[in-house]
Chains A and B, each alone.
Chain A
């Protein structure tokens, strides 16, 4: 009985620590705080005087320190630039067998004609996977801070939002709506083109995903969050976001596994699918940032 109540207490304390509540004041600390300060506190005038002299000293030193830092930075960068190999020379260290191999065998090894796509999605796929994870985590942390739920929203906020919605309903902007009506399909079409064509031409997951996210933002700002919810609810959003990352991880894991064990490669269109996965993650990140900062909900 005693044990279980102690456990409960621990859990409560951990929960309150996670929530950021202040810990109840410890008695020992309280005793220490009540002691007299060792040095007598300076009076108001004295403190002001001291602050002023500090400030004066600071402003005397500030330009000197700034100049020294700037000059030394410029010196370091100049030294680095001077010791760099000449641009475009044939015997530069960057022109080694690695880039040669990428350019010569990239198409047959990865199946994508665009050397950049072959590099970022196949040869350097782990790097891109890390980038996708960073985007995913960024949107997750922004959601943690800004997402509106029943715990951090009170009646006042809800009422304010409702009145803002009513104002937005009454003052619908016909210019924006007509422009969006024409532009949104074009933007989506272009995004899909860039996403699917990343294998063979400039483009790919990151640029296509950004265009897709921009189209979503335009649609949301032109037609309001109510219409946005018809095509993208919070559940769909989370599912798509997670699906993109999981698809990437699975495909790239399979790719690494096949390559490492010399198995026959049946994943011909893999670059395309990875492109799509990256595009989904990027689009969700871009739109998620907009929605979180604008309204605090998807």
Chain B
């Protein structure tokens, strides 16, 4: 019973991860502006990879590979936001008319 439940949860999480990646790719193609596209891609990087790896862990069972998988998504969670941040910063620094593209909150 418990085994079946774990399998079902794992499959659901895997499918949800695939769905998140699908939306990410869709957003990457549909949006026009860099920052919007980056946001779509970052969703896939953060949530999609998390769901897929959790699903894999649940389906595969607890082992050394599962621990390594956790390390993989910790690494991705650490690095992907930093990379997105750098790209966004570069875009904001170099674009000439940022106010036209998006409303910037002045502080």
A positions within 8 Å CB-CB of B: 173, 175-176, 179, 182-183, 186
Contacts and interface: CB of A to CB of B under 8 A. Distances in A.
Interface residues of B, number: 7
5 contacts: A175-B82, A175-B85, A176-B85, A179-B82, A183-B79
A173 B89 contact: yes
Nearest to B93: A171
B86 A173 contact: yes
A141 to B, nearest CB: 29
Interface of B: 75, 78-79, 82, 85-86, 89
Contacts of A182: 78
Contacts of B82: 175-176, 179
Contacts, number: 14
Nearest to A167: B93
Nearest to A221: B86
Rank and list the top 4 A-B pairs by shortest CB-CB distance, nearest first: A179-B82, A175-B85, A176-B82, A175-B82
B86 A183 contact: no
A183 B85 contact: no
Contacts of B79: 179, 183
B89 A179 contact: no
Contacts of A173: 86, 89
A176 B75 CA distance: 14
Given A175-B82, A176-B85, A182-B78, 4 more contacts: A176-B82, A176-B86, A179-B82, A183-B78
Nearest to A218: B79
Nearest to A180: B82
A175 B85 CA distance: 8
Contacts of B78: 179, 182-183
Contacts of B89: 173
A173 B86 CA distance: 9
